[in-house]
Amino acid sequence: MSLIPSFFGGRRSDPFSLEVWDPFKNSAFVNARVDWRETPEAHVLKADLPGLKKEEVKVEIEDNSVLQISGERNVEKEDKNDTWHRVERSSGKFMRRFRLPENAKMDEVKASMENGVLTVTVPKAEVKKPDVKPIQITG
């Protein structure tokens, strides 16, 4: 399995996460927080994307093995008469990539967004149990 090296402290905390590091991006929003849990039936990823509409988010499968979540939060329109006292909400593009395991059914991925939380469900292929044929022991 090919992994993109991590530039954050030189360690990789998640072997399935494919981080793209860009020092010129606004890191507060670039690193959209994602939880990934595995159930017996599926892989479920949840991303916090507050303030974004589903039209501003893309979920894609790349090379039939990489799940990519991306989007952009635009800067608010400025009025020349406005006086800004503080700007803390981040804006800009973000992208998160995850290499999914071989048991993921890439053709059945579903995504939904509610209250600023994106949920991506990737069903798992059933693990085929090996055929077992008992052998009679003679004496």
Which strands make up the sheet holding 42-48, listed edge to edge? 34-38, 42-48, 117-123, 110-114
User: Could you tell me which CATH number the domain at 17-75+90-123 has?
Assistant: 2.60.40.790
User: Quick one: pLDDT at residue 123?
Assistant: 97
Amino acid at the residue 78: E
As a whole number, the mean pLDDT across the chain is 79
Amino acid at the residue 106: M
* Number of Cα atoms under 13 Å in the Cβ half of residue 25: 15
pLDDT in tens, 60-97: 999 989 999 999 887 777 777 888 787 777 778 889 99
Amino acid at the residue 33: R
User: Quick one: pLDDT at residue 25?
Assistant: 44
Q: What residues pair up with 48 in beta bridges, in sequence order?
A: 117
Higher-pLDDT residue of 134 and 17 is 134
* Helical H segments across the chain, by residue range: 27-30
pLDDT in tens, 33-53: 899 999 999 999 999 998 889
28 pLDDT more than 60: no
Average pLDDT over residues 102-123: 95
Higher-pLDDT residue of 50 and 120 is 120
d(CA 48, CA 71): 12
